[in-house]
Structure 1
Amino acid sequence: MEITLTTPALLFPALSLLLLAFTNRFLGLANLIRSLKDRYASTQNRLVYSQIENLRVRLILIRNMQAFGSLSMFGCVLCMFVLFAGYETLGKYVFGFSLLMMLISLALAIREIQISVKALELELDDLKGSSAGQ
């Protein structure tokens, strides 16, 4: 397989968009945690505390998603440099590393989405239970 300088460059738009999406998710969760923390401080509601704990796990996942996405981007840039220097075989390995980092980042994103959906389902179940009692 032949690899050129343009091959790793093809990942830049995808990686940039992924990192932007991960950052937006992080900022959204940070705002939600701040509001839930204030709510918990005034109510001491166990459900609110459970939501904060769920968000803590999701923040760790998002941090790792960003880290592996950044490593993928770093690998792409390093691959381009290695290819520019004329080391095609090493460039293939570095590009493979970049792809692996991107796969890990995407796998973490899938896990974070699963946790997010589960949390929303619990919230909806709680709402359903409280409306049935009225």
Structure 2
Amino acid sequence: MNIDISTPALLFPAITLLLLAFTNRFVALATLARGLRQRYLDHNDPPATILGQIKNLKVRLLLIRNMQALGIASFFCCVLSMVLMYLREQQTADLVFGASLFLLLASLTLSFIETQISTKALNLELSDLEKKSIKKV
């Protein structure tokens, strides 16, 4: 398969939007981590939900770091494939572009996994609220 120099350029907007979304997730998790830390410190005997959230948060932070790393590597490979095409190294450029697609796919897979874990974290938080509301009734 031969691709021209504009093909990798098509991924630029997609990859940059994904990196922006991943960064927003990271910022949201950093805010959540600070809040959980404060909630943990405010309790002499922290509820199990806080400890579960902290454990969950650590996994999610690791996933987001890896999502970002794979996204950046994908972006790097896109640019490198364009440089290789410019240097008339078409076969190598095709392989590097293929690598960028697989890196992007891996990043999206981690994003899906992180979303699933995020949903579990929200359910854990909501279950804590449900328990409190049942006790009040």
Structure 1 position 49, deviation (Å): 2.0
Tell me the residue number matched to 1:39.
39
Tell me the residue number matched to 1:80.
82
Structure 1 position 2, deviation (Å): 2.1
Deviates more, 1:72-81 or 1:43-52: 43-52
Mind listing any 5+ residue stretches in structure 2 that lack a counterpart? none
SS of aligned partner of 2:88 = coil
- Structure 1 stretches of at least 4 aligned residues deviating more than 4 Å after TM superposition: none
Deviations 1:10-29 (A, max 9, x none): 00000000000000100110
Pairing 1:106–2:72 present? no
Tell me the residue number matched to 1:48.
50
Identity %: 52
Pairing 1:129–2:131 present? yes
What is the TM-score normalised by the length of structure 1? 0.96
Structure 1 position 96, deviation (Å): 0.3
Structure 1 position 69, deviation (Å): 0.1
Mind listing any 5+ residue stretches in structure 1 that lack a counterpart? none
Deviations 1:78-125 (A, max 9, x none): 000111100111111000000000000000000000000011112212
Specify the code of the residue in structure 2 equivalent to 1:57. V
SS of aligned partner of 1:133 = helix
The total of aligned residue pairs comes to: 134
Pairing 1:69–2:71 present? yes
- C-alpha distance in 1 between matches for 2:120 and 2:52: 12
- C-alpha distance in 2 between matches for 1:94 and 1:34: 40
SS of aligned partner of 1:71 = helix
The partner residue of 2:120 within 118, 123, 126 is 118
SS of aligned partner of 2:4 = coil
Structure 1 position 48, deviation (Å): 1.2
